[in-house]
Amino acid sequence: MPPSTSRADARDNSLHRPVLAGLCASLVGIGLARFAYTPLIPELIQAQWFSANDAMYLGAANLVGYLIGALAGRPLARRLGNGNALRLMMLAASLAFFACAFPLSVSWYFGWRLLSGIAGGAIMVLVAATVLPHIPASRKGLASGAIFLGIGLGIAGSGTVVPPLLNLGLQATWLGLGALSLLLTALSWFGWPAGHPSSIAETVKAAPAEPLPKGVYLLFAQYAFMAAGLVPAMVFLVDYVARGLGAGASAGAFVWILYGLGAVIGPVSHGFLADRLGARTGIRLVLTVQAITLGLLAACHSVSGLALLAVLLGSFPPGIVPLALARVHELVPGHDRQQTAWSRATVSFATFQALAGFASSALFKASDGNHVLLFLTAAGSLAVALLLELVAKGLPSPLGRDRCLS
């Protein structure tokens, strides 16, 4: 074997490890820590661990934690280094699973669900910035898609792993999820890149002082309304099928598996749209499809019809991440400024996601469990995001790379 081939193979292997570590981090911190809770909601209520309203508010606790983590991720990386910060967050998410096996009180559960959200928010801010600087430019897109695929795999995994675990009981389910998260944490432990202990800190120091382009601030607002629009289906879909339609927990789990299938497809398909059509056109198309899908969800009472809609809905939460990141790259020149913009976009997303989580829970309680009203509200949020995109259409891209502009 020629020496050049050996070096290339060694370089490929060295790239696989950080990408795998990034995938494991998004899988644990977001895919499982957030989305595994959704198929557990009907069981938490039926087992009388919590009331329906308490179960919904506990789901919102993770979203509040996500906002805290998005704000705390960069300072944490400056203190500990990126790799150590990510290891700590994955351990925290794993520990939260084990703690949730013991329903001591609502406040106990709220604290641990909050911690799992903090881990997810910090991971979202840090993981791409930790891995991608070590990836050749020609492979950054593929590596980014692989990292975000962890979110979709977590959603799909929660739909396939949780139902068998529930046969052993709720406590065994939480313990099993904790063991799986701990295994993924161990698998990623030595995969984080070495040699740049705190690239986030360096980015902050080196970031230029000039303001970001105006189009980025419109993207922040748009991304915020996207976050609000995905929450109702993300939190209430399984409960809607299982209790709202009276189809039972097994039907709810089946719909959630298809939601997870859409989540696996989402990052790749949405990334393809960004590559082929440009991020701006991709965002407009996805927002239109999702708003229509949520409207159909509110009108559909068939489990088979909901199953088809769930695939489209599931593609949205992980799929908009590479789309939004691609849009940031279209609008903002320079790696350092792109990282700053992406961190702010994540905070914007997390803020509205947390607000939408509590607002949805309050609306659910005030409307006596009216799921349809929640889905229509979500469709309205996406319609607002689409209108903001139409406003953004008149703003030029400073790099001249937006192929959607006429």
pLDDT tens digits, one per residue of 286-334: 999 999 999 998 888 888 888 889 999 998 888 888 888 888 878 887 7
Q: Would you kindly state where each structural domain of the chain is located, as residue ranges?
A: 14-190+199-392
Do 51 and 159 meet the contact criterion of CB atoms below 8 Å apart? no
Q: What is the pLDDT of residue 394?
A: 54
Q: What is the pLDDT of residue 133?
A: 76
Residue 19 to residues 38, 133, 228, 332: CA-CA distances in angstroms?
Answer: 27, 11, 29, 24
Average pLDDT over every residue of 133-158 = 75
Choose between 296 and 278: higher pLDDT.
296
The whole-chain average pLDDT of the chain stands at: 81
Q: What is the rounded distance in angstroms from the CA atom of residue 345 to the CA atom of residue 22?
A: 19
Q: How much is the pTM?
A: 0.75
In tens, the pLDDT along 92-126 reads: 999 999 999 998 888 999 999 999 999 999 998 88
Q: What is the pLDDT of residue 205?
A: 47
Taking alpha carbons only, the member of 157, 159, 162, 186 closest to residue 174 is 162
> Residue 198 pLDDT more than 60?
no
Tell me the CATH class for 14-190+199-392.
mainly alpha
Do 19 and 143 meet the contact criterion of CB atoms below 8 Å apart? yes
In tens, the pLDDT along 1-32 reads: 555 444 444 455 566 888 888 899 999 998 89
Q: Per the structure block, which two tokens stand in for 10?
A: 């060694």
Instruction: List strand residue ranges (DSSP E) for 143-194, in order.
Output: none
Given CA atoms 195, 199, 201, 205 in this order, what sign does their dihedral have? positive
In tens, the pLDDT along 231-257 reads: 888 888 888 888 888 888 778 878 888
